[in-house]
Amino acid sequence: MAESRRNGTPAYILIQQSVRRQIQADQLKPGDPVSSERELARQHGVSLMTARHALAILEREGVVERRPGSGTFVAPPRIHFNKLMSYTEQMGSRGLAPRTKVILARIIEDEHEIAARLGLPGEGRIVKIERVRHSANEPFALETCYLPASEFSGLVDVPLARTSLFATLENDYGVELAYSDEEVDATVAEGRVAQLLDVPRGDPLLRIRQVIYSSNSKPVIYVVGFYKSERHSLFVRRTR
Amino acid sequence: MAESRRNGTPAYILIQQSVRRQIQADQLKPGDPVSSERELARQHGVSLMTARHALAILEREGVVERRPGSGTFVAPPRIHFNKLMSYTEQMGSRGLAPRTKVILARIIEDEHEIAARLGLPGEGRIVKIERVRHSANEPFALETCYLPASEFSGLVDVPLARTSLFATLENDYGVELAYSDEEVDATVAEGRVAQLLDVPRGDPLLRIRQVIYSSNSKPVIYVVGFYKSERHSLFVRRTR
DNA sequence: AAGTGGTCTAGACCACGGC
DNA sequence: CCGTGGTCTAGACCACTTC
């Protein structure tokens, strides 16, 4: 095998990264042609199939569009359908600064239903973090996260107002978040939720309950979120 | 190139089909091992990379799971996350009989916003179909569909109370539905919607606006749906 | 040790797009 | 026409799981 890999990283991932970097650095804009398969293969000293593999994954992720007979092009600014992203990442991808207020961060017990969602025994200790998300100095979401305290009790001391929960988990705890299953429905604002979101009671809210799993399919976070309806909608892509 | 293709169909698609057939015919149940890459390659007289390609696609579709060092296995009966299904199909998959009442089916004009969603010129004629979905003899959803009248004006005469719109489009019109983009938010029941759904005004409703595209990426249907919240929630899977 | 999936090579021919 | 992506070959080594 040619020494196309610097360390243990597969060559096709290095190629993806190099293309992604060019897009991120605005050297390539939507619609611009990406180096062709043959070109990438040559540049990286790699076989054609390997360069193809890299582009195939970028295409599947929607980063790039391939037009047979014509070339490979940077995909138009896509809405990130069905993409698991933290609030920080979502805001960042729109060039906005996230603002978060932590309402509560402590360890709770005897929440059997939540423990069950996390696959924990009934009396499992749980980290509970309640945050209000702001945009334009106005609250628009209330998100309550629950995590197993056995692994993540240290989170209660992390300054989550300015640190991303996703980033902390991935960087400091070595957790690789992989996917989430969400249940979406509609409710109306009441009591504490109405108060924290600063909306009249009776206003419609989108409620999203999600379980986020790590790459080994273990539940890591259970999140219940309430979103002001006129400020937030959810985009989903379904395929047949 | 070896004559691995009978007609013009690529070999990797034929391999996919053969695996799918075995699963469909219950010869392979969830958890059962699928023939290994090398075995499939031999069976189909094809190179390893080609067999791999076939399995890679089946994996991406969630049909199959690959465990390095171990094998490839039929994926467990997956909940159809992010799957584009008609109401009829959804009910059918739960063993329930669909019940639908057609409120309105006619051709409208001068609906510029809707025409825009369908990619039509402003004054395009549009088929509008309004239906109430029932379950347990109780209305739970109001769905309004819009389609370009240029192609689908015949739909106003189809008995859509007992015929699936998806099935009609796919069978009678030769349209291949491919994917949909949905925007989900929360509203409250008001006026005509509250009346048709038989709920008090002010009750929370889930609103889903979706554009359904055919396989050539042309918008075919625009649907606005209102769903009783306590009877309906939406499941979404996101991946990182 | 044998078998599996994951990565990779160095070529090949095809259909199609744009000039 | 040449360059592009799409398909394909006949091998190879690796890390891993299973026995």
Asked if residue A159 and residue A135 are part of one domain, the reply reads yes
Specify the pLDDT at position A24. 85
Chain B closest-CA separation from residue A121 CA (Å): 25
CB-closest option in A177, A181, A233 to B237? A181
Report which DSSP code applies to A231. G
Report the gap between the CA of A73 and the closest CA in chain B (Å): 18
pLDDT (0 to 100) of residue A91: 80
Q: What is the mean pLDDT of chain B?
A: 88
List beta partners, residue A238. Answer: B180
**Of B237, B75, B230, which Cα lies nearest the Cα of A211?**
B237
B205–A240 C-beta distance less than 8 A? no
Average pLDDT over residues A100-105: 94
Asked if A155 and A79 count as a contact pair (C-beta separation under 8 A), the reply is: no
pLDDT at B83: 76
Tell me if chain B has a CB within 8 Å of the CB of A67: no
> Which tokens go with B187?
């509203």
Give residue for tokens 């014509």.
A70
For chain A, percent of residues with pLDDT exceeding 70: 95
Chains A–B, number of C-beta pairs less than 8 Å apart: 124
Instruction: Compute the distance between CA of residue A223 and CA of residue A144 in angstroms, rounded to an integer.
Output: 5
Residue A176 predicted with pLDDT over 90: no
The 10s digit of each residue's pLDDT in B28-74 is 999 999 999 999 999 999 999 999 999 999 998 889 999 999 999 99
A70 CA from D4 C1′ (Å): 5
pTM: 0.76
In a domain, A81, yes or no: no
| Domain match, B217 and B100 both | yes
- What per-residue confidence (pLDDT) applies to B4? 39
- CATH code assigned at B9: 1.10.10.10
| pLDDT for A50 beyond 60 | yes
User: Which CATH number does the domain housing residue A165 bear?
Assistant: 3.40.1410.10
Q: pLDDT tens digit string along A181-227?
A: 899 999 999 999 999 999 999 999 999 999 999 877 789 999 999 99
Residue of A184, A223, A232 to mutate, testing the B interface (most B Cβ within 10 Å of its Cβ) = A184
- Which residue in chain B has the smallest CA separation from A177? B240
The domain of A141 spans: 87-239
C-beta of residue A126 within 8 angstroms of C-beta of residue A104:
no
Segment B117-126 shows an average pLDDT of 87
A16-28 pLDDT, tens digit each: 999 999 998 889 9
B83: contact with A, CB 8 A cutoff: yes
In 3-state terms chain B splits into helix, strand, coil percentages (rounded to 5) of 30, 35, 35
> Among A81, A99, A79, which Cα is nearest to A91's?
A99
Shortest Cα distance, chain A CAs vs residue B240, angstroms: 5
**Pair A124, A173 in one domain:** yes
